[in-house]
């Protein structure tokens, strides 16, 4: 790959994450000689603006990667499984935002603030982790590095953006209908979205009772931390917020730990910003996290249910489209 000025492709360019990837490449002044945009046949011909130029979205085909050095995929698992190996065969390095390759032992699963060195072992494909996993564990890494986290209990409050642009529009439309007293039949999500919360809309494993999103968070945490013994439980819930996921986190460390130690370790941690104003009762919120690169962390306090003093509870919020997806992918590309 020409590291100085690669030809970069964005696959799934018209989707919610694809649009943010293009925006991140521009905002962060990513060095490239050419940007190519790909999507399905129904989106081909649309135009997008990049650095003042109008680019036309092309239909994704097996010949799309002939001159591409770096391909950023955000078009779903089936598209990635079919086209990512083709891109690698043509000489591109792929950063994939789907779940297709995340648990493949030969594919690095990377959060740059945590395990950037894992990139060196790639064989053409690097996986971008699940958005809830990124937002949950990035603030934990500075703590885990000094005082290993042995048990982790997560409850997520996940926004519409995690289900894509169509789900975001469904939230807007169903909210308008609700306020107007009009009926609205859900089309994208399985339950009414306006003024409602429900269990994450992925299939539940009858053997464990955990849904696919929860299982991803559990498995990916172990892989990213390179710690198969860390005990993780997750409950993933969809909430009527447009973008930015929140997570309630309780973690147990190997040794006793205080809230002051946690704040100190997070105060200068990369990718994290403390929002922990007890006097004003001001803590991380989606409205503040939306559009920000950093994951907001607050409500840092002792877990009073653990008399050993080894457990902390806290609350985080992070932009699902940015650090949870597009920004993380572009950061990986920058490291490449």
The answer to whether residues 60 and 33 touch, using CB atoms and an 8 Å cutoff, is no
Q: How far apart are CA 23 and CA 329, in angstroms?
A: 12
Known active-site residue 245 = yes
Q: What is the maximum span of the chain, computed from C-alpha positions, in angstroms? A: 62
Determine which one of 24, 131, 236, 246 is catalytic.
131
- Edge-to-edge strands, sheet with 7-11: 58-59, 34-39, 7-11, 70-73, 93-96, 125-127
Determine which one of 23, 122, 144, 245 is catalytic.
245
Q: Helix H segments across 141-248?
A: 141-146, 165-179, 212-224
Cross-strand partners of 329: none
The Cβ of residue 204 has, within 10 Å, a number of other Cβ atoms equal to: 14
Q: How far apart are CA 85 and CA 158, in angstroms?
A: 31
Q: Helix H segments across the chain?
A: 16-27, 77-89, 112-115, 131-137, 141-146, 165-179, 212-224, 259-267, 286-289, 327-335
Three-class secondary structure of residue 221 per DSSP: helix
Q: At 51, give phi and psi (nearest 5°).
A: 50, 40
Buried b (16+ CB within 10 A) or exposed e, 31-45: ebeebbbbbbeebbe
The Cβ of residue 270 has, within 10 Å, a number of other Cβ atoms equal to: 11
Catalytic positions, written as ranges: 131, 245
């Amino acid at each position: 790959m020409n590291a100085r000025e690669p030809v970069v492709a964005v696959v799934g360019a018209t989707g919610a994450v694809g649009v943010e990837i293009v925006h991140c490449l521009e905002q962060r002044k990513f060095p490239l000689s050419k940007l190519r945009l790909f999507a399905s046949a129904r989106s081909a011909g649309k135009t997008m603006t990049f650095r003042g130029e109008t680019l036309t979205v092309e239909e994704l085909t097996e010949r799309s990667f002939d001159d591409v050095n770096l391909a950023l995929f955000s078009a779903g698992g089936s598209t990635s499984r079919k086209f990512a190996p083709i891109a690698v065969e043509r000489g591109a390095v792929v950063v994939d935002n789907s779940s297709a390759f995340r648990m493949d032992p030969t594919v690095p699963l990377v959060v740059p603030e945590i395990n950037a060195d894992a990139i060196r072992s790639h064989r053409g494909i690097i996986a971008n982790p699940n958005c809830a996993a990124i937002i949950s564990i990035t603030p934990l890494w500075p703590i885990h590095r000094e005082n290993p986290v042995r048990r982790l209990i997560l409850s997520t409050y996940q926004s519409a953006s995690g289900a894509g642009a169509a789900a975001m529009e469904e939230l807007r439309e169903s909210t308008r209908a609700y306020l107007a007293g009009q009926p609205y039949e859900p089309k994208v999500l399985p339950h009414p979205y306006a003024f409602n919360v429900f269990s994450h809309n992925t299939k539940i494993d009858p053997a464990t009772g955990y849904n696919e999103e929860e299982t991803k968070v559990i498995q990916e945490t172990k892989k990213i931390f390179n710690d198969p013994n860390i005990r993780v439980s997750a409950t993933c819930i969809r909430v009527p917020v447009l973008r930015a996921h929140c997570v309630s986190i309780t973690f147990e460390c190997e040794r006793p730990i205080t809230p002051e130690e946690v704040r100190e370790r997070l105060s200068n941690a990369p990718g994290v910003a403390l929002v922990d104003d007890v006097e004003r009762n001001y803590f991380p919120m989606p409205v503040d996290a939306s559009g920000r690169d950093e994951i907001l962390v607050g409500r840092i306090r002792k877990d009073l249910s653990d008399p050993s003093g080894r457990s902390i509870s806290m609350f985080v919020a992070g932009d699902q489209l940015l650090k949870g997806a597009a920004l993380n992918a572009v950061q990986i590309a920058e490291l490449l």
